[in-house]
Structure 1
Amino acid sequence: MVRNLLAGAYAGKLAAVNPGYSDVEGVPCFATLSELSFQPEQVIFAVADTRIEAAIEDAIRAGMRSCVIYSALVLENDTAPPLVERVRRRLTAAGVLACGGNGMGYYNFIHGIHACGFDTRQHRGSGNVVLLSQSGAGMSGILDVEERLDFSLAVSPGQELTVSLEDYLDYALDQPETRVVGTFLETSRAPGRFIAALEKARRRRIPVVAVKTGRTPMSRELARSHSGALSGTDSVYDALFEKFGVYRAHDMDDMVTALIMHAQPHPVGPGGLVTLHDSGGERQLLIDLAEAAQVPLTALAPQSISALEALLDPGLPAVNPLDAWSAGGPEYHKIMKECFAVLLRDPGAALGAVVHDRGPGGSLYPIYLDYLWCGHKASGKPVFLVAATQGVGADPQVLESTRAGLPVMDGVSAFLRGVKAVLDYRDFLLLPDPEPPLPLGGRARQWQQRLASGATPDELEAMKCLADFGIPVVAMRRCSNEDEVLSAAEELGYPVVLKTAQAGMLHKSDVDGVRIRISNSQALCDAYADLAHRLGAHVTVSVYVPDPAVEMFLGMRSDAQFGPVVIMGFGGIHAEVLGDTVCLLPPFDADTAARLLNRLRLRPLLEGVRGAPAVDVTGFCRVAAAFSQLAVALGEVVQELDINPVRVRPDGCQAVDALIIPRRNTGAATPEPE
């Protein structure tokens, strides 16, 4: 620990406290904190949990303002409240900023503070990458090994006793050195501050790359035992990351790749990827992998094709990706270099890569680096040297080239995921600002008051709520006897839909409580007699929305961490069986709904298949946007709200079924908003 502090060349005062030594690595050592000649701004505790409370009290008396705690704060046969909670309360009461416990400390390279008690590599000084990791090994496993990254700040916040990951993120975004932030995330302990920090990152155009654990039940449970973190709902984190342009990395390798590519200094412009190869087979493989990774490969402009044809040996097609190796010969280096420059100068090229195989022992052939320099000099665009496989061994040229702004990467698949990350972030920055919540009108406030009672509205009332928020709904009537049913059908016009409206029957199809496409009075009387006999006299009669139509689903859930979230997808059995849905944080606009809708597997159904006409996708997306405003307005009083389905026709769409479950499903009914 002391060696790390000395290696950081911290300019302030250092002192060690241990009665067994007079100095540690030349730093004066004192028996107790009270013997110090200065007030410590920060105390780093490397003591056993059995002694930590007494040590903290000594430090508070000495004037400690902040601290680092490495130990797990767990005692055998502990009393209630447990040690970790006692320490949290004491530090909070004293106003002490604490990194830890059960963490590995931090590195502030800007100010030369290496407050970590574990071995590390030699660092060059402050860089432009921030790493915030709720896994201690997640921090050290990258910081200590990945020399292609130069960090400005790295933190293992551990149990986040008084300072959370959100606080570190907010601080890092204010530092001028910060170009990109990587996070290893188990959970957000302060969701509101996390959202605020991600919004700050969006405004300041600083990309955030996240590894988020908790996709599986076992992972979520182990997160709780590891650091006391509740991992949260995985799909909601996906929605959060989508809203703020956060790249969710598959694993730590993926995160490192994205950090390297974001940290390089050259801006990524419009267009796709161009690549130069010396192998036709590896070129074909990259094409397959790029399609799987959804990475656009640039279609070359006519002038680029002509320039390449003038350079290439006969038989080599002038296409991107380009295999420029043929018979070799004395001119092949010149040909490869000039071909790469042509690729990069193409107006559709955003970035480029030379894809190659490393030499014996993991060495780099210098000529490939020459291709990089030539391509970058010709275009000013980002370029990368990519080994077709993960290499072994080390070559000093890897660091030299990467630190010069031309990164060297290993593995085509990892590289392509990095390309996807930087291109997606480029496109994210072109989007308009997030949709703001609309001001609450009188009707919205009435619905807030109505639903705050906790009484579950029936379907007719739920449909009225949707209509008050601008969502088109089918005409519907509430009936309690056969005469009312027949009268409603005559008023609305056949065909009609008949549904049970007995109290407590939230999912009508589960009790065979729905009859559709009823086309005459006799069929209606027969259907009503059956429902009344089995389920009760109360029913609704509504207009049937005829085919051709596609059934869609809109739902709202109240998430324990992030509040209301919207689920959008294909309705009916598609929602229940296939789960072809996406999750979004409200509010959002119709364009956002359309963009997310395109990710669904069944999306082609909306364009018409097997002779069916295309339906009104634009209209549905407007409805989804209106629904998102409803979700925000009623999110504090509603636990669940479903429209299943919204029937989308070529000439519009309508909600035909709605369910609202208030947060507290108790209490007497209150009058509907007028």
Structure 2
Amino acid sequence: MDLIESSHNHMSSHDHLTPLPLDIMTHPLQSMLNPGTIAVVGASPKPGSFGGAVLANLAQHFRGKVCAVNPQYKEINGYACYPDLQALPEKPDCVCIAVPSRAVPDVLLQAADCAIPSAIIFSSGFAETGTPEGIALQNRIAEIARTRGIRVLGPNCTGIVNVRSGASCNILPSVKLLPLVPGDVGLVGQSGALGYVVFQAMHRGVGFSHLISTGNSSDVDIADLIDYLIDDPHTKVIATLFESVPDGPRLRAALQRAFEAGKPVVVYKIGVTQSGQKAALSHSGMLAGDAATYQALFARTGAIQVDCFEALLETAVFFARSGTPTMDSGVGIISGSGGSVVMAADKADTYGISLPEPQPETAAALRQRLPAFASFANPADITAESIRDEGMYEECVEIFAADTGFAGIVILMPSAHGEPAIRRAQGISELAGRLEKPLSLVWMNEWYEGIGSRVYDQSTTLAVFRSLDRCMSAYRLWFEYGRKRRELANQETLGHTSDPTEGFDQQAATGQARDYLQGFSPGACLTETQTRHLLQIWGIVCNEEALCTSPGQAAESASRMGYPVVAKIQAPDIQHKSDVGGVKLALQDEQAVRKAYVDILNSVSGLDLPNGIQGISIQKMIEPGVEMFVGTRLDPAFGPTIVYGFGGTLVEVLKDVAVSLAPVSAQEVRRNLDGLKMRKLLDGVRGAKPCDIEHFAQQVARVSEMAAALAGEITEIDINPIVLHNKGGVAIDGLVVRSEA
């Protein structure tokens, strides 16, 4: 055998490509994504044309029926060509449209008249241009799809490839050169180009079920495609990359259904911006940007988010090979390089992956098999003897796999030495198919297509990574996914809110709050005093306060409360009072209170305050504690989101917060707090007592319920800080922004 292993002869033409019977699934998109008969409107023999590329791709891969439609030709590349859709000898399942944008609506109407159930529009020149004409054309397409009952993919999309049927309704000319490798990863995305560069992994033997590009998503979008692939028996994992979605609730529902069905969705979100934060008045608006909102969505729905493009396919294949973990942690790692095992230990620690020590029987079995100078720990260094001894890797993997402390096994493969590397790869791949635990391999060699690599890539039994970082990240995501699946099995529904506090009437609170908010104009920003009243309706614990309109009244209120006290400006146009000298702390006597009253008014006298000053708030000075933050904002796509974590004046600098979709349970709050950088502060440091985390979690849950119930009334809530003590906590300051409508 040659030192470079021979490549498997994957399907390059019509071999093994039989269309799936249309009655396998009854999903509304079946005719589009698994068609038996395809018509190409705008078919052309001209090189470089969209219609010509689609015909060439179908000719290479598709065994179903293809009809060309173009009144200028009688025949194109062996296909009979018809003047229009009405002239076709039979009704196609799907029509591919490759005509100028202005002609698309008429073609789509003609397809609807012929009762063709689906269409794929490749043409550009629609809403992506940003012009009124393009937007109007796309709106017309959406209207036809909605009113005539025809499902539409695109416009401005590259199309689809159904690997098993060979339905290559795609405008990219090199699709015809692809070796269609059947696999269990369905790939969907907005960007046809980015999706295709992932899809080209088939050239090294990685298999897929589908490639689907949505383009402008005038009708069919990412949510529809996820929903379809959930029911596809050939797809084990859905991989998706997208910039934005037209309908947030539908995406959320699709991701939730996938999770409940046990079909992992691996997501790489691109095109994240902070544009939605520009008009935000509150801290929560600054902290809960688009990226954080999507992260909250994925966490809530069990979607698996990767943080780099290169991780999308590797992680998807890993999940397809690995199923759902039955353990919370524990990975066994084997390598023939001492340096790589040290690296692996470092990376495992970075990603929070536990590497349990081998059980005594495991260590004993390794000692019998390995030379005395090997390492019998985890990670295990089986030494360079593994190069000479071809069976060593397989035997050591089997020993590790029998250890009940390991949920999965990782092989680090730094070597690509000669023909034995191919036999070793074949043996490891076969072994992976026999093991009850997932086996992953990290190709450590910079010779990416080195000897043996193609065998690993083609394997349908093990997952291959070309980065130790991405491997450890995938395991972390895998364990997290398993935990969520077990919670679901235990009927702990994702996103289930905590029960209202005993004696708290949420329905009555909602009614009172709505009545109170009617007194404020659309877009109004409530003062701290007004916000406090609203929060107290919802049972949020706030500090004592008196709103004063004279220095004497302020002094009298302070005396009644007891010193020390705090003085704060109350004006609808001042959201962050400390920034303008509107707060005076630790006032110890009447003279200090009177002076503070005057000084605060002087500090804000030069500001433009169209809504005036309501007065100076005198509040009891709260004992020091850990300052926390909770706030909400109304996301235009996903509704109210809640932000919570460490607060105070540095909240926007520290940005040590978590974000969830509202409402959120106290359980989810506690879990997310564990991921914050300053989490240990809550346990008490340098002699401080532990904080009442449960109180904070319950208060966050209550605020989230408030935000969800009043989503049509308010856009932002900001409570900063909540001073947390050993027992309980107190909200010190806050604001609420009324919705515009």
TM-score by length of 2: 0.80
Task: Check whether the contact 2:512–2:537 (CA below 8 A) recurs between aligned residues.
Answer: no
Determine if the alignment matches structure 1 residue 441 to structure 2 residue 507: yes
Q: CA deviation at 1:615?
A: 1.8
- Distance verdict in 2 for CA 1:333–1:399, change over 3 Å: closer
- Choose 406-415 or 343-352, whichever is displaced more: 406-415
Structure 1 counterpart of 2:87:
35
Tell me the distance in 2 between the aligned counterparts of 1:372 and 1:185.
Answer: 33
SS of match in other structure, 1:145:
helix
Task: Check whether the contact 1:344–1:375 (CA below 8 A) recurs between aligned residues.
Answer: no
Determine if the alignment matches structure 1 residue 99 to structure 2 residue 156: no
SS of match in other structure, 1:385:
strand
Instruction: Give deviations 1:21-43, integer Å, cap 9, x for gaps.
Output: 44445432223323222233321
Structure 2 counterpart of 1:227:
none
- State how 1:74-113 maps to structure 2 within 5 Å: 79=133, 82-109=136-163, 113=167
- State how 1:229-244 maps to structure 2 within 5 Å: 233-244=290-301
Structure 2 counterpart of 1:513:
582
- State how 1:171-190 maps to structure 2 within 5 Å: 171-190=228-247
2:116 corresponds, among 64, 79, 101, to: 64
Structure 2 counterpart of 1:668:
none
1:539 corresponds, among 602, 606, 616, to: 616
Q: CA deviation at 1:375?
A: 7.0
Instruction: Give deviations 1:492-551, integer Å, cap 9, x for gaps.
Output: 33322222224433322122122222233333333234335555682222222212x111
Q: CA deviation at 1:181?
A: 0.8
Determine if the alignment matches structure 1 residue 129 to structure 2 residue 185: yes
- Distance verdict in 2 for CA 1:153–1:490, change over 3 Å: same
Task: Check whether the contact 2:341–2:380 (CA below 8 A) recurs between aligned residues.
Answer: yes
- State how 1:550-565 maps to structure 2 within 5 Å: 550-565=626-641
Structure 1 counterpart of 2:440:
384
Aligned CA RMSD, in angstroms, stands at 3.2
- Choose 412-421 or 86-95, whichever is displaced more: 86-95
Structure 1 counterpart of 2:320:
263
Structure 2 counterpart of 1:593:
669
Instruction: Give deviations 1:197-242, integer Å, cap 9, x for gaps.
Output: 111112112111111112357999xxxxxxxxxxx81221111112
Tell me the distance in 1 between the aligned counterparts of 2:597 and 2:275.
Answer: 49
Q: CA deviation at 1:183?
A: 0.8
Tell me the distance in 2 between the aligned counterparts of 1:9 and 1:254.
Answer: 31
Structure 1 counterpart of 2:359:
301
- AA of the residue aligned to 2:376: A
SS of match in other structure, 2:223:
helix
Structure 2 counterpart of 1:164:
221
Tell me the distance in 2 between the aligned counterparts of 1:362 and 1:393.
Answer: 14
Task: Check whether the contact 1:354–1:371 (CA below 8 A) recurs between aligned residues.
Answer: no
- AA of the residue aligned to 2:381: D
Structure 1 counterpart of 2:70:
18
Q: CA deviation at 1:572?
A: 1.2
1:407 corresponds, among 459, 463, 471, to: 463
- Distance verdict in 2 for CA 1:345–1:576, change over 3 Å: same
- Choose 105-114 or 202-211, whichever is displaced more: 105-114
- AA of the residue aligned to 2:531: A
Determine if the alignment matches structure 1 residue 280 to structure 2 residue 349: no
1:475 corresponds, among 544, 553, 557, to: 544
Task: Check whether the contact 1:363–1:395 (CA below 8 A) recurs between aligned residues.
Answer: no
SS of match in other structure, 2:719:
strand
Determine if the alignment matches structure 1 residue 646 to structure 2 residue 694: no
Task: Check whether the contact 1:341–1:376 (CA below 8 A) recurs between aligned residues.
Answer: no
Q: CA deviation at 1:148?
A: 4.6
1:114 corresponds, among 136, 159, 168, to: 168
Instruction: Give deviations 1:328-365, integer Å, cap 9, x for gaps.
Output: 797x5555443322222222211112211242699944
Task: Check whether the contact 2:666–2:700 (CA below 8 A) recurs between aligned residues.
Answer: yes
SS of match in other structure, 1:615:
coil
- AA of the residue aligned to 1:477: A
Q: CA deviation at 1:116?
A: 1.6
Instruction: Give deviations 1:569-605, integer Å, cap 9, x for gaps.
Output: 2111220322222221111112211222122222222
Task: Check whether the contact 2:566–2:586 (CA below 8 A) recurs between aligned residues.
Answer: yes
- Distance verdict in 2 for CA 1:371–1:396, change over 3 Å: closer
Q: CA deviation at 1:663?
A: 1.2
Structure 1 counterpart of 2:414:
357
Task: Check whether the contact 2:181–2:205 (CA below 8 A) recurs between aligned residues.
Answer: no
Determine if the alignment matches structure 1 residue 418 to structure 2 residue 474: yes
SS of match in other structure, 1:107:
strand
Determine if the alignment matches structure 1 residue 4 to structure 2 residue 57: yes
Gaps of 5+ in 1: 221-231, 666-674
Structure 2 counterpart of 1:202:
259
Structure 1 counterpart of 2:659:
583
Structure 1 counterpart of 2:195:
139
Task: Check whether the contact 2:416–2:452 (CA below 8 A) recurs between aligned residues.
Answer: no
Tell me the distance in 1 between the aligned counterparts of 2:641 and 2:690.
Answer: 28
SS of match in other structure, 2:168:
strand
- State how 1:582-621 maps to structure 2 within 5 Å: 582-621=658-697
- Distance verdict in 2 for CA 1:34–1:314, change over 3 Å: closer
TM-score by length of 1: 0.88
Tell me the distance in 2 between the aligned counterparts of 1:492 and 1:219.
Answer: 42
Q: CA deviation at 1:272?
A: 2.0
- Distance verdict in 2 for CA 1:154–1:451, change over 3 Å: farther
Tell me the distance in 2 between the aligned counterparts of 1:127 and 1:396.
Answer: 20
Tell me the distance in 2 between the aligned counterparts of 1:176 and 1:79.
Answer: 41
Instruction: Give deviations 1:282-313, integer Å, cap 9, x for gaps.
Output: 21122222333333323333443344344443
- AA of the residue aligned to 1:429: R
Tell me the distance in 2 between the aligned counterparts of 1:79 and 1:375.
Answer: 56
Tell me the distance in 1 between the aligned counterparts of 2:320 and 2:419.
Answer: 24
SS of match in other structure, 1:624:
helix
Tell me the distance in 1 between the aligned counterparts of 2:515 and 2:143.
Answer: 37
Structure 2 counterpart of 1:49:
101
- Distance verdict in 2 for CA 1:136–1:35, change over 3 Å: same
Gaps of 5+ in 2: 1-53, 278-288, 605-612
SS of match in other structure, 1:573:
coil
Tell me the distance in 1 between the aligned counterparts of 2:209 and 2:393.
Answer: 37
- Distance verdict in 2 for CA 1:622–1:219, change over 3 Å: closer
- AA of the residue aligned to 2:244: T
Structure 1 counterpart of 2:555:
486
How many percent identity over aligned positions? 26
- Distance verdict in 2 for CA 1:405–1:237, change over 3 Å: same
Task: Check whether the contact 2:387–2:417 (CA below 8 A) recurs between aligned residues.
Answer: no
Task: Check whether the contact 1:33–1:58 (CA below 8 A) recurs between aligned residues.
Answer: yes
Tell me the distance in 2 between the aligned counterparts of 1:36 and 1:156.
Answer: 27
- Choose 244-253 or 366-375, whichever is displaced more: 366-375
Tell me the distance in 2 between the aligned counterparts of 1:67 and 1:363.
Answer: 51
Q: CA deviation at 1:638?
A: 1.0
Instruction: Give deviations 1:366-401, integer Å, cap 9, x for gaps.
Output: 225435655774x51011232113433376874577
